[in-house]
Amino acid sequence: MTTSDPDLHSPDLHSSAPTLADLTTLRLGGPVGRYLETTSADDLAAAVREADASGEPVLVLGGGSNVVVHDDGFPGLVVRDVRSGITVEAADTCGGASILVPAGTPWVDVVDRAVSEGWVGIEALAGIPGSAGATPVQNVGAYGQEVAGVVSTVRVWDRGELRIRTFSVVDLDFGYRSSVLKRSLRGPDGTPSSFAPTPRHVVLDVGFQLRLGTLSAPVGYTELARRLGVEVGGRAPLDEVRATVLGLRAGKGMVLDPADHDTWSAGSFFTNPVVEASLADALPDGAPRFEVRSARPERTTGPSLGAVDPTLVKTSAAWLIEHAGFGKGFGLPGTVGLSTKHSLALTHRGGGTTAELLALARTVRDGVRDTFGIDLEPEPVLVGCSL
């Protein structure tokens, strides 16, 4: 274990005892009770085990891109895994590429390596901030791909059983922005579990299985397909898909840039709601509608493609927000506001507080509920605070 400054992907740290504002892409949050960096899986597991045994709250933090932390900070241990690297366990035309990635590895490094090596299945996940260990927790996805389609195993420290375990893809029970790992943050009654704000299972490393090739997985997102000049379901060169996705994300303020306050966010603040078909039918004409499929993937190079559930519809949180009267830039000028590029991102413009950001989130959430009768759920982990 070490307390020296890490090699940073984003944002900058200034000392070995940073505040949460130093450690998160929102640049919000108060002081840390105790800060620790670990350089091995054993040290990470030991740090969590020792804190749990002493009753000290634990926050395992990756890239800090999907958390909102109270202005009072976090009174316990904040631990970061600063390992990085990719181990190629196999790569052949028969079985594809099998790789093992330490949890602390920046996700963008994994995608960049995959594209350069001709490993197919995560090219549309380019530009997503955060660490590789976080991706299976919420089944990260974008532009028609999600990691459920390529994860093979996840090795974890089980805080409940006090042992290291390995989950297969079936064990992970992936769903839309969800997994058995993430669901351990909530108890049966929906309130935070005793493990929160860190899941019961602390990710140590992730195994991925990817097909070999020069062309992408079938493109499953209309906007991306149009930009690439292919039909939905068609394929394009891996590097072109990556570059096009980065361009789309940058245009929405979703590629980190310290000089651009539209990127001082936690990414998409609300998940796209999955609602009963009858409620979706009552939405105005033009409201986006997407099929809801079962979570278990049928292939290893794309999104989950189980059977369609005709009783459910997924719609667009961004569309609901804008049509409830909260357009891009809502709340500006001010210390917080909706991104000027994407209405789904709540942004910090400098000098703000978490309390102000949450007040904005409540305004948007309540406005959507009043207009459409749909409750938006926050996507980031809320640490010491709630909506």
CATH of 87-248, one of 3.30.465.10, 3.30.450.20, 3.40.50.720, 3.40.50.970: 3.30.465.10
Model confidence over 98-134: pLDDT tens digits?
Answer: 999 999 999 999 999 999 999 999 999 999 999 999 9
Parse the chain into domains and list their residue ranges: 87-248
- The answer to whether 211 touches 300, Cβ cutoff 8 Å, is yes
Kindly name the residue from 65, 131, 268, 304 that is annotated as catalytic. 268
For the chain, which ranges sit under pLDDT 70?
1-17, 293-306
Q: Which residue has the tokens 């980031």?
A: 380
Kindly name the residue from 177, 211, 227, 293 that is annotated as catalytic. 177
* 243-273: b (≥16 Cβ within 10 Å) or e: bbbbebbbebbbbbeeeebbbbbbbbbbbbb
By CB atoms closer than 10 A (0-12, 13-18, 19+), residue 380 is buried
Report the predicted TM-score, pTM, of the whole model to 2 decimal places.
0.90
Rounded distance, CA 112 to CA 24, Å?
22
Q: Is 268 an annotated catalytic residue? A: yes
Residue 14's pLDDT is: 34
Residue 78's pLDDT is: 97
Model confidence over 23-56: pLDDT tens digits?
Answer: 999 999 999 999 999 999 999 999 999 999 999 9
Rg from Cα positions in the chain:
20
Fill in the amino acid letter for 281.
D
| Alpha-helical runs (H) found in the chain | 20-23, 41-54, 107-117, 180-183, 222-228, 238-251, 277-281, 317-323, 354-372
Residue 296's pLDDT is: 47
Residue 2's pLDDT is: 38
Residue 50's pLDDT is: 98
Q: Is 177 an annotated catalytic residue? A: yes
